[in-house]
């Protein structure tokens, strides 16, 4: 048996926790698993782990021409029971166990302010009036070297920003999450500062692929996925997708971002998916799609290079990671 010490392997080499915990069942079931041409394993029911409660259907959702159509969408349980939301725990299954019942989404107020001509305060239902609701099927890539395909429901962030009329000083968009002591972890428990904050350059925020998501699978966004409204930027690593947004500010200078504050060496402000720039503790050249056994090659900008590469013309994407 080959025994490797912690310093000799990368995080991305580690068997996923949900597979390890079911390893004996996996071995017993191995003879019944079909291996496809792409190396995907048919996932047996026991591998789904937690089963999330389905949400309320959203009205008038239309398919978007900007959806990714060449990838199999992950299951509802995949998407809602294996994710990050540090306010409700640091393990992947913690948000599904802890967020429902603790995250209070009604009533909700979202403020848009800063370098704008028209400040806005929106309730949850007001989000549906910004633009028609669209289903956007996007690949999502986690910095921990796993990926997933999600059928988000949302509206373009650009539609909201146009309503507030950014001033000539507006160069960036800053976001802030809800934070409630007692209902959420303390900063010292989670290892990051709260409230969670993030930011985009204004042209990134205005890009057609950038959305405010209010649902998935045609239903209201579950608490563990960032209800009632979260950011989705599919060419960036998942931690840029700030959840449960309560404030958006248009600002002149680059705003703070939670993981960049926590560890700037590992988490840059831009955080574009780039297989050529390794995380200091593991490679980003490949990824494991949730529900698959074998790894796949990571695509530049998560496969959206044709749409977004022009945003970064002339930039050193190794330095500005």
pLDDT at 51: 64
CB contact burial 235-245 (16+ within 10 A = b; e otherwise): bbbbbbbbbbb
- DSSP 8-class letter at 181: B
Write down the number of H helices and E strands in the chain. Answer: 9, 13
Distance CA 308, CA 208 (A): 10
Do residues 199 and 254 touch, judged by C-beta distance below 8 A? Answer: yes
Do residues 242 and 195 touch, judged by C-beta distance below 8 A? Answer: no
pLDDT at 142: 95
For the chain (length 321 residues), average pLDDT per consecutive 10?
41 44 39 37 42 84 96 96 96 96 95 98 93 98 96 98 98 98 96 98 98 97 98 98 98 98 94 93 94 95 98 94 91
pLDDT at 50: 57
Instruction: Tokens for 74, please give them.
Output: 């992950």
pLDDT at 53: 74
Q: How many CA atoms lie within 13 A of 286 on its CB side?
A: 10
Provide the β-strand partners of residue 114: 250
Please write the tens of the pLDDT for every residue from 77-86: 999 999 999 9
Contacts of 319 (CB under 8 A, 6+ apart): none
Phi, psi of 236 (to 5 degrees): -115, 160
Do residues 117 and 170 touch, judged by C-beta distance below 8 A? Answer: no
Distance CA 233, CA 33 (A): 34
Distance CA 133, CA 293 (A): 34
Phi, psi of 131 (to 5 degrees): -165, 165
DSSP H or E segment with residue 147: strand 146-156
Please tell me whether the peptide bond between 228 and the residue prior to it is cis, using omega within 30 degrees of 0.
Answer: yes
- Spell out the domains of the chain, with CATH numbers in brackets: 6-312 (3.90.420.10)
- pTM of the model as a whole: 0.85
Do residues 236 and 272 touch, judged by C-beta distance below 8 A? Answer: yes
């Amino acid at each position: 048996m080959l025994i490797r010490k912690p310093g000799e392997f990368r995080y991305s080499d580690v068997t996923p926790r949900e597979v390890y915990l079911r390893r004996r069942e996996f071995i017993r079931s191995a003879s019944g698993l079909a291996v496809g041409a792409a190396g995907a394993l048919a996932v047996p029911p026991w591998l789904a782990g937690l089963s999330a409660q389905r949400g309320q259907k959203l009205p008038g959702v239309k398919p978007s021409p900007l959806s990714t159509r060449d990838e199999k969408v992950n299951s509802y349980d995949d998407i809602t029971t294996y994710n990050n939301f540090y306010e409700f725990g640091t393990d992947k299954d913690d948000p599904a166990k802890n967020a429902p019942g603790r995250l209070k989404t009604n009533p909700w107020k979202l403020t848009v302010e800063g370098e704008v001509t028209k400040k806005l305060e929106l309730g949850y239902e007001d989000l549906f009036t910004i633009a028609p609701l669209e289903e956007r099927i996007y690949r999502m890539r986690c910095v921990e070297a796993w990926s997933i395909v999600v059928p988000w429901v949302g509206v373009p962030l650009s539609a909201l920003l146009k309503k507030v009329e950014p001033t000539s000083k507006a160069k960036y968009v800053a976001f802030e999450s809800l934070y409630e002591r007692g209902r959420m972890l303390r900063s010292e428990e989670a290892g990051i500062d709260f409230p969670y904050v993030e930011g985009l350059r204004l042209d990134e925020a205005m890009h057609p692929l950038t959305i405010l998501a209010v649902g998935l699978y045609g239903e209201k966004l579950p608490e563990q996925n960032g209800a009632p409204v979260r950011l989705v930027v599919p060419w960036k690593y998942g931690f840029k997708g700030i959840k449960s947004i309560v404030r958006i500010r248009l600002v002149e200078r680059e705003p703070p971002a939670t993981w960049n504050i926590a560890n700037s060496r590992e988490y840059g402000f831009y955080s574009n998916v780039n297989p050529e720039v390794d995380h200091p503790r593991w490679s980003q050249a490949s990824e494991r799609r949730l529900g698959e056994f074998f790894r796949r090659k990571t695509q530049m900008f998560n496969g959206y290079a044709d749409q977004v590469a022009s945003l970064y013309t002339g930039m050193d994407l190794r330095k500005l990671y």
